[in-house]
Amino acid sequence: MGEADTQTIQTKWLNDRVWFVLAGLIILLAAVLRFIDLTLKPLHHDEGVNGFFLTNLVRDGVYKYDPANYHGPTLYYLTLPFVEAFGLKTIPIRLSVAIWGVLMVVLVLYLRNYLGRLGSLLAALFVALSPGMVYISRYFIHEIFFVFLSLALVVAIVFFIEKQRAGPGAIIWMTLLLYTCFMPSVVNLAATLNENLSGGETLLWVLRVLFFAIASALVFYVMRLLVTWEQGRPIYLLLAAASVALLFATKETTFITLGTMAIACFCVYIWKPIAQGEALRRSWLTVVIVIHVAIIGAALLYRGDISDAGSWFYETFLTQYQIHEPWVLYGFVFIALLIVVAWVLFVLDFRKNRESEFEEPVTLTWSNFRASLARNGNLTLILAAVATVFVYLFVLFFSSFFTHKAGVFDAFDAYRTWTKTGSKDHTQNGRLAYLRWGMKVESPILLLGVFGSVLSLLWARHRLAMFTALWGVGLLAAYTLIPYKTPWLALSFLLPLAISAGYALAQMIEGSSLGLKVSGSILALAGVALLSWQTYDLNFVRYDDEDMGYVYAHTKRGFNDLMDKVKYYADKSGKGEDAQIEIVSPDYWPMTWYLNDYKHADFYGQLIDTNSAEMIIAKKDSQDADVIKRYSGHYKYVGIYPLRPDVNLILLVRRDLADPTAQDPYKILEYETVPGYTD
């Protein structure tokens, strides 16, 4: 069945025009949720560290990859154009990440011929509304780009097998990738030449424009060659190679994602002929019994974990004052109960209705992939091009654009470092941490995703849906077993789970069983409604509340009040950004980002003797006695402000600058509550 025919028997109302309108609205929704009010929540301390590296790259032109310093170099170089254009501000750096969150939704929509029209819309809507996807898209960390690349890899390989020529999206993405490779060098060459010529700002911009024109000519030449090579079809495989290289250059967890994908492909190869055979249909009752026995066996095997989960559920949702909105609890309990009903209906309907409303435009098999590689006798050339792209991008980013060759070797050492940090549970939430976090802030995707994955595998109608199900459940299992836990790692499996949820619900709605149609429709509506509230609540109300799963050691909103006071007294001193600020607290991230324009903001991290600085920022409790002893003669205490859970900061101002409301430092001993703290 051809591409034009694959959709003809689907829901009649969902024609091309309606689909594109709905797709556009979903993309708009994703953009609004990710772009609006990006400065609302203060930076996390990880964002502050990333901002420190970015600031050094912008101001000094230097970034050297160090495997001990968090993750790979892609984040900083991809953000560079934004800060070059708009400055070292919070909105540009977060915008550089939020864009990938929106493009992730766009990529899901690209899979409409493999998920179905309704399935692709529901999957994209779940990704757009995912509380975690929105929350981390508004974070200046590596995770969103990493998850985007994992989906880009899948889309690129699928399209390489299917397409006869490169589409506009592939050409644009390849062009942007080439510019990304060239632009940092353009900026550095212009700056170096301008410095050698002792030129000013005007000459610098002339050189930038000149080098940009040369880079554009080179990009045009390369793209012209690629587009004329088999009508540009190999571009998809080159983009897949680029995605893998950039995955490695972004995070050390790449091998977990790629390994899970490889296992998923193998399992689809083994399972699909079994699932589609008559033997499964004839012995369906036995299969159902085996599934339930396996569930009971797993429950008995992990009864300790399940008991802990039950205690956690009671303490989190059922004790007094623990849940802010009881209807949220009722919502996901309703979804869970309806899933049980839908499962019963599915079991009863399985033998009767195994056909799909659409067919994939091409069979996604290894043999077809191999045939696509060898088409027109270009196997050696394509493999050489793929290897070249992978190696070039890998070396380019880890060597800091050929300025730090040791970074390439350090990239391999990163895995030794990661195996040490990855063997500890820093969050102390136990093996079921992701289930706990997910049930509290992302329950529809978690419940519907796992349910949809099971249905996708038992239906065995579409290979991509089966692969996505195994990809999501596999990563969930892998990250559950690995001791290292951080909330944002969950995004790697939430993406495929959201896709599986959308696909399975669409298959239920478009099927012939009235019971599955009704239950699928209600589940979709309930899931979207609950996700909408959870997304709003997490991202725009309780964004610094530690009770919310993704809020991990996050900077409190009261920290913004501290930064406002610093600016107020800096302006009052008449020095502005030349004011001297001594940060003696050992805990200060992400303050470096907020004070990066203050030339005399010194981060000592320990107490020093001073009587001339306009302001001092110290740590409450551990430094109280020394603050009173050292600084009472020349400073007054303005206030105490929260940094993150259990860490509060003291702001001292020189006596001649202090407002009448400022107090003597010994008053800090009377402190009881944190101004600006939100429970």
pLDDT score of 54 more than 70: yes
Token pair of 357 as six digits? 């409303």
Q: What is the mean pLDDT of residues 92-101?
A: 97
Question: What pLDDT score was predicted for residue 353?
Answer: 62
Report how far residue 157's alpha carbon sits from residue 671's, in angstroms, rounded to the nearest whole number.
60
User: How much is the pLDDT for 1?
Assistant: 41
Q: What is the pLDDT of residues 602-613, one digit of tens each?
A: 999 999 999 899
Q: Are 472 and 496 in contact (CB under 8 A)?
A: yes
Give the burial string for 7-19 (b: 16+ CB within 10 Å, else e): beebeeebeeeeb
Q: Are 139 and 117 in contact (CB under 8 A)?
A: no
Residue 321 has pLDDT above 60, yes or no: no
Distance of alpha carbon 82 from alpha carbon 88, whole angstroms: 9
pLDDT at 678: 44
Mean pLDDT of 313-335: 73
Give yes or no for residue 306 having a pLDDT over 80: no
> How do beta strands 615-619 and 600-603 pair?
unpaired
Q: What is the mean pLDDT of residues 345-368?
A: 81
CA–CA separation, 280 and 458 (whole Å): 9
C-alpha 143/C-alpha 97 separation (Å) is 9
Instruction: Give the pLDDT confidence score for residue 4 in this predicted structure.
Output: 43
Kindly write down the DSSP assignment for every residue of 585-610, as one continuous string. Answer: -S--TTHHHHTTT-TEEEE-SS----
Measure the N-to-C terminal CA separation of the chain; round to a whole number of Å: 57
Sheet architecture: strand order including 600-603: 600-603, 580-583, 615-619, 647-654, 635-644
| Sequence-distant (≥ 6) Cβ neighbours of residue 333 within 8 angstroms | none
Over range 336-344, report the average pLDDT: 94
Chain segment 137-166, per-residue pLDDT in tens: 999 999 999 999 999 999 999 999 999 899
In this model, does residue 422 exceed pLDDT 70? no
Q: Partners of 663 in the beta sheet?
A: 637
Paired sense of beta strands 647-654 and 615-619, if any:
antiparallel
Residue 526's closest CA among 344, 331, 327?
Answer: 331
Tokens of 622: 């551990």
Rounded average pLDDT over 30-46? 96
pLDDT above 60 (res 7): no
Q: Give the pLDDT of residue 2.
A: 46
Note whether 96 and 78 are within 8 A (CB). Answer: yes
Percent of the chain with pLDDT over 70: 92
> Other CB atoms closer than 10 Å to residue 593's CB: what's the count?
24
Predicted local confidence at residue 320, as pLDDT: 58
H/E element, 642: strand 635-644
Q: Which two structure tokens, joined as six digits, stand for 568?
A: 């107020």
Q: What is the mean pLDDT of the chain?
A: 88
Is the model's pLDDT at 425 over the cut of 70? no
The pLDDT assigned to 5 comes to: 46
Answer for the pair 466, 268: CB distance below 8 angstroms, yes or no. Answer: yes
Poorest-pLDDT segment among 386-390, 412-416, 458-462: 412-416
As a 3-state breakdown, the chain gives helix, strand, coil percent values, each rounded to 5, of 65, 5, 30
When pLDDT is averaged across residues 305-323 and rounded to a whole number, the result is 68
- Per residue in 9-35, pLDDT tens? 445 667 889 999 999 999 999 999 999
Query: Is residue 672 scored above 80 in pLDDT?
Result: no
Is 568:607 a contact under the CB 8 Å cutoff? no
Structure confidence at residue 195 (pLDDT): 77
The pLDDT of residue 530 is above 90? yes
pLDDT (average), residues 463-482:
95
pLDDT, tens digit, 9 for 90 and up, residues 625-658: 999 999 999 999 999 999 999 899 999 999 999 9
Residue 113 has pLDDT above 50, yes or no: yes
* 87 φ/ψ sector (left φ>0, alpha ψ -120 to 50, else beta): left
Mean pLDDT calculated for residue range 433-457: 91
In order of 67, 183, 385, 405, 432, the CA distances from 408 in angstroms are 10, 20, 20, 6, 36
Residue 211 has pLDDT above 50, yes or no: yes
- With 80 as the cut, is the pLDDT of residue 116 above it? yes
Mean pLDDT of 368-394: 88
As a whole number, mean pLDDT of residues 194-212 equals 82
Residue 580 above 90 pLDDT? Answer: yes
Give bridge partners of residue 615 from the DSSP assignment. 581, 653
Average pLDDT in the 57-80 region?
A: 86
**pLDDT value of position 426:** 59
Q: Do the Cβ atoms of 264 and 471 come closer than 8 Å?
A: yes
Separation CA 63–CA 401 (nearest Å): 10
Distances (CA, A) of 37 to 166, 206, 352, 553: 37, 35, 51, 21
Whether the full predicted model's pTM is greater than 0.85, yes or no, is yes
| pLDDT for res 14 | 79
Site of tokens 């700002």: 201
Nearest residue to 222 (alpha-carbon basis) of 256, 266, 177, 265 = 177
Return d(Cα 99, Cα 27) in angstroms, integer. 11
Percent above pLDDT 90 for the chain: 60
